[in-house]
């Protein structure tokens, strides 16, 4: 299940998660973000129970955008034990995103 990450639930959903969390920082008006949407949703289902995957709307959550210095969308940040461990930007293929998930889970 895909999580909805917000300024108000970030601590409980990401920082305090016992599993690694991938957050997709996106915007509704962003073409590449729309392209990544179905891929992110599919991987959220595939990795349920192993990794949490969520989306954060950058227009609605300025605190997180500022905290993580999001300059372009989509930006993906992996969190492990509450800490950001990897960041990458732009649209990528499902295979590339899945490889990055597997790398963080290894």
- Check 30, 40, 51, 92 and give the catalytic one: 30
Q: Please, which residues have CB within 8 angstroms of residue 71's CB and are 6 or more apart in sequence?
A: none
Tell me if residue 56 is catalytic. Answer: no
Catalytic residue among 14, 22, 33, 73: 33
The CA angle 63-41-104, to the nearest 5 degrees, is: 75
Q: Is residue 30 flagged as an active site residue?
A: yes
Give the helix/strand (H/E) hosting 52: strand 52-57
The catalytic residue positions are 30, 33
């Amino acid at each position: 299940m895909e999580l909805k990450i917000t300024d108000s639930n970030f601590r409980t959903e990401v920082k305090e998660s016992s599993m690694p969390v991938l957050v997709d920082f996106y915007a509704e008006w962003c073409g590449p973000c729309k392209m990544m949407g179905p891929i992110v949703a599919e991987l959220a289902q595939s990795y349920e129970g192993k990794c949490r995957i969520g989306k954060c709307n950058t227009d609605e959550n300025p605190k997180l955008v500022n905290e993580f210095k999001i300059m372009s969308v989509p930006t993906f940040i992996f969190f492990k034990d509450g800490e950001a461990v990897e960041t990458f930007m732009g649209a990528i293929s499902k295979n590339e995103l899945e490889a990055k998930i597997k790398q963080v889970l290894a």
